[in-house]
Amino acid sequence: MEQVDAEPARVGREGRRRRWRSLRAYAFGAAGLLLAGCASMPDHGEIREVRASQGVDSQVRVFGVPPADKAGPADIVDGFLEAMTSDDPQLQTARKYLTEEAAKNWKPGSAVTVLSAGIDRFSVQGEKDPAVPRYKMTGKKLATVDERSAYQPETTGGRYEEYLQLVQENKQWRIATPPSSLVLSESDFQRIYMPVNKYYFAGGTLVADPVYVRQRSDPDSRMDPTTQTVQSLLAGPSKWLGPVVTSSFPAGTELREGTKSLAYDGQNALRVPLNDKADNVAQPQCQKMAAQLLYTVQDLTASKLARVELLRSDRSSLCSVTEAAAAAIAHRPPSPEYQYYVDGESRLVRMKLDITSEDQQYRPEPVPGPLSTPPGFKVGSAAVSYDEKRAAVVSEDGHGLYLVNLTTAGPMPQPVLTGKGNKPDGLGAPSWDAAGDLWIADQDQQNPGLWRVPGGTGTPQKIDVAGLDGGRITALKVSPDGVRIGLLVLKESRKNLYIGRIERPEGKGDKAAVSVRELRPAAPQMANVTALSWAPRGRLLVVGRESGGVVQARYMLADGSMVAASLPGATGLVAVAATEDEKKPVVAYSDEDGIVWLPPGAQWRTVAAAGRAPVYPG
């Protein structure tokens, strides 16, 4: 039986005030000059209290306070929990609260437990030795970040719970049993860590694998963001993405021993020294390795990354790639020529959008081929292949899926898939993947399912989706890389967004038992999601509503970790479409204004008042 104090002390966002030693650094221009302070912890200056609930400016560097002489057990616990949230990547101050043995053996690594608020800590006494101080830490678990820096949202509403045992060492109270990982509130986690993408290959296409790294630069400890990200890339893909991607780096490849930090040279090139595991790779493989690296680090530099060069263990050049060469190796989807939507007469039309033109007389045209032949086919929804030569259309009644050629005329073909239900419980909007396969959800309440049509013309296959738990898929969108699928799942009158991993057994052709595995929530912050699209850099563009809020369109990270940005003035949207090309506008359907689009850095413009169901190729 444990005895628990009646009043807990909360460490984090709620309640207790925290003490910090802070250093604010101001950057001027590309030189990044510091107006005041230095990179190391100051040895004097003001110690002031800051409420965690107020948040901490991302420019403020936060350092924990070392334990005071003869500090009591409660102060040791509180000081340690504070020090865990500091900007010290080696956690040297936090280790001062531990026994010598615990400090030496404590290796939280990159693992983090993220709590929705702060930590509640209770003083407890066990039956074996009531005189020995012992504290129980609890909190509501929001997510975990594993040893490969991958974020995983908590889906079961679990509670965090660990114990800190204190002992006296040299007449000072110290913690003998530190937590197995860092424990941070959501606000502290977002202050200390930043999201980055590392890239791996799937079927010749580069795939974004989102992870988190510390955003503070500390060259002496190899903890600057670029070095951390490269180390994470070399360590291999996240566990979730690992089954469907490969790395071009030979097993065991690491940074050359003694490499403390990676830096960009005056020509904005990055030179990366590797160990001897990569010394003898052939040039084609080396080029793919360099392409992985270039795409991985390109968002970590303020200016455009020009080139990545890989070095052997003796520092001789192994190979290099430019941005253009890496783009050819990456096989990313081409920039779309047209944007498509269904007009007021239920025709599939296309339109070129010139975001630089002052002439706003947009001129949609019916797509060529069978769909333009009178009397005309009534389109409910559509998807266009990445090469823009084929379209998959669902009839207005939601009953049939048809594949039409956009390059030649002719009669409408027979449906490749027929649903049993009719609108609104018929076939949903289709989606193409990078391999040329077609995906669609049948929303029939009696027999719902996810279907794949190999090559768009093959025999439809019903796909096993693990983890639906009685939910019904109402909308979907396959990622441009073809290894992930976004699913809107209706369950108990609520639509939630999930991301699933598409697994394709090798060597079995179209008859392979393709499946979708390990669904994970992609927008846990939203109470209801109504539309989705894949967006640049592996993100999602989601239309939905937070609890108690209004419907908005927001960019989300695909791992479900956070909201990346909101679209300005995006209220009343019903559907949305984005593309990998960041220069292309976001296109949406508003039930008030029809088809609207948002060019980069501009405001929403109305394109077609009588239009709906906008799509880009994919």
Look up residue 99 and give its amino acid.
T
Pair of tokens at residue 187: 């606000």
Given a cut of 90, whether residue 433 has pLDDT beyond it is yes
Look up residue 421 and give its amino acid.
G
Given a cut of 50, whether residue 399 has pLDDT beyond it is yes
The tens digit of pLDDT for each residue in 330-387 reads 998 889 999 999 999 999 999 986 655 555 557 889 999 999 877 779 999 999 999 9
Which residues are registered as beta bridge partners of 193? 214
Average pLDDT over residues 304-322: 95
Taking residue 118's Cβ as centre, other Cβ atoms within 10 Å add up to 27
Given a cut of 50, whether residue 26 has pLDDT beyond it is no
Q: Which domains occur in the chain, in start order?
A: 3-192 (no CATH), 217-330 (no CATH), 339-352+360-615 (2.130.10.10)
Residue 45 DSSP label: S
The tens digit of pLDDT for each residue in 84-136 reads 998 888 899 999 999 999 999 998 877 899 998 889 999 987 556 667 899 99
Given a cut of 60, whether residue 245 has pLDDT beyond it is yes
Predicted pLDDT at 563: 73
Residue 219's pLDDT band (boundaries 50, 70, 90)?
Answer: very low
Predicted pLDDT at 16: 37
Across 218-234, b (16+ Cβ under 10 Å) vs e yields: beeebbbbbbbbbbbbb
Predicted pLDDT at 304: 84
Instruction: List, as one string, the DSSP characters of 383-417.
Output: EE-TTSSEEEEEETTS-EEEEEESSS-------SE
Given a cut of 60, whether residue 286 has pLDDT beyond it is yes
52-61, 284-293, 297-306, 535-544: which has the minimum mean pLDDT? 52-61
Predicted pLDDT at 47: 28
